[in-house]
Chains A and B, each alone.
Chain A
Amino acid sequence: MRDFFFYGLCAVLLGLAGVTVLSRNLFRSALGLLGVLLCTAVLFLLLQAEMVALVQVMVYIGGIMIFVLYAVLLTSELGGRMASPSPLKIGLAVVVAAVALGMLAGLAKKAGGSADRVRAESPAGSVAAGANIASMKSMGERLLDPRGFLVPFELISVLLLAAMVGAIAVAREAAVVPGAGAGEGGGGKAASAPGQGRPA
């Protein structure tokens, strides 16, 4: 029963991923990505990682997808269709995808082997152990423990802050010099975006 569900879910996920990559309409791509992220959250639920699934929904669907949709709404025309990419781009994409697939397959094989070893060593059932690792309490403790992931966690927030300040600085520079924004085309359009929400 669970296997059938898993394969059905994966089929849906791959289909939506196809929509995301192949759709000529940017908004449809974004909706496809939304579906992919939701299916991934369900996959996490199947692994009994409730917390990871919820964070996936909260961060990716509640946060990042909304920003993606915003970017699409601000930049693309309503119902606009993108031109087909050139054959060279398609070829490059296929090569990159194949390499990434190979690396992931290698990783999956390695991880599967080690999971089998763990299961052989602890007959108590790896499902229960997995549920413990991904629970809210243990995840929080590992994240905020100085011997755990506290330092990387804080470093990531510094990195994000730097990225945000950088983005604001870039957008601001274009907005202050009126002549620079007009000639730039795409860059000027993105820079005028934050101003669009403000005037009443």
Chain B
Amino acid sequence: MKAYAVNHPIGDIVRSLLPAPWAAIANGALAVAVIAGLVTVSAIFLIWLERKVCAHFQARLGPTRVGPFGLLQPIADAIKLLMKENLRPRGVDNLAYFMAPLLPITGSFLVLAVMPFDHNLQVVDLQAGVVYVVAVSGLGILGILIGGWGSNNKYSLLGSMRSGAQLFSYELSMVLCLLLIVMASGSASLREIVLSQQGTVADWWIFKLPVAGFLAFFLFMISSTAELNRGPLDLSEAESELTGGFHTEYTGISFSMFFLAEFVNMFASAGLGATFFLGGFLAPQFGIGPVDYALAAVPGVIWFFLKTYFLIFLYMWFRWTFPRLRIDHLLSLEWKFLLPVSMANLLLAATLVTFKLIIP
């Protein structure tokens, strides 16, 4: 295993131009700006992608009028949402009502801070990166509960409790899947987890752990779909069967914050899936000299985005293919099926790791 440069050239330029404390501040500000840009641009792009994928699954064309292939459609949507009046229904709890939309987006923004986009593209590499990811993603649930209560509306309240129960239950099996990979790779830092998958495609954790890896990936995809509030597990919205759920009362920019958070969360969650199971920013290698050379020449950040968008496409595929579950089915799926299976899987992986049965 060779060592890679961790410093990005732009960071080095800033460091050479400014004295140490100022360079650290400037680099931090740059990193935050880049992440903020990524959050907005990827959310807008994902909204377009969602509409296009949905349309093609339903044998339609989707947005075509605004810009080439309708690419500018989400920008028009965003402007419309921002121009809308930010209504404040009578009797809402001001603090709770206006604080709630900020929490989910903050959570997904913070997750991106530890995401390893490339060898030298990661804002901070925490030793306890996985713990950090789990910790800040709790903010999403809080935002939903607080928003549902603050709206002073019984439908919002019921919807928020329903989705709170859902998110809280599914977080368990998702964390167990992440724990499995932490155990197998021997580190909780996201960068170290990616680096533990060096080698060919067979060294990615999805293939490297016999059975357990693929099962963990499968469980991760199901539980993260529920975590993301996406169909077929989108019981917190279910716009066609139930009232909009926790965001019934929200309009304008407050609503768009929840909406944005949903898409950024999808990006973050797919990025986590790629990092944990699909080798993150590592180029796929097949053990064939020239092919490997050509694939490795492509920058890691492009591989990261390709893998992430592949998983995003899977999420969209699920959403437009499967029928929605009922809330009691949803909760029994988690507590009676996913959780026992992920615990058994954890045990299996522990056995494999202890007896060194990992495919070399």
Q: Which residues of A contact B (CB under 8 A)?
A: 27-28, 31, 34, 50-51, 54-55, 57-58, 61-63, 65-66, 69-70, 72-74, 78-79, 135-137, 196-200
Contact = CB atoms under 8 A, between A and B. Distances in A.
Contacts of A51: 127-128, 131
A104 B127 CA distance: 32
Given A50-B128, A51-B128, A62-B135, A70 B152 contact: no
Contacts of B168: 66
Given A78-B152, A78-B157, A197 B128 contact: no
Contacts of A55: 131, 135
Nearest to A58: B135
Interface of A is mostly: helix
Given A69-B145, A73-B149, A200-B328, A61 B138 contact: yes
A-B pairs, top 4 by smallest CB distance, nearest first, are A62-B138, A58-B135, A57-B135, A54-B131
Contacts of B348: none
A65 B138 CA distance: 10
Interface stretch (B91-99, B293-301, B308-316): B91-99
B138 A27 contact: no
Interface residues of B, number: 35
B146 interface: yes
Interface string B167-206: 0100100000000000000001000000000000000000
B15 interface: no
Contacts of B127: 50-51, 135-137
A27 B328 contact: no
Contacts of A57: 135-136, 138
Nearest to A63: B138
B138 A136 contact: no
Contacts of A73: 145, 148-149, 157, 160-161
B138 A66 contact: yes
B142 A27 contact: no
A97 to B, nearest CB: 26
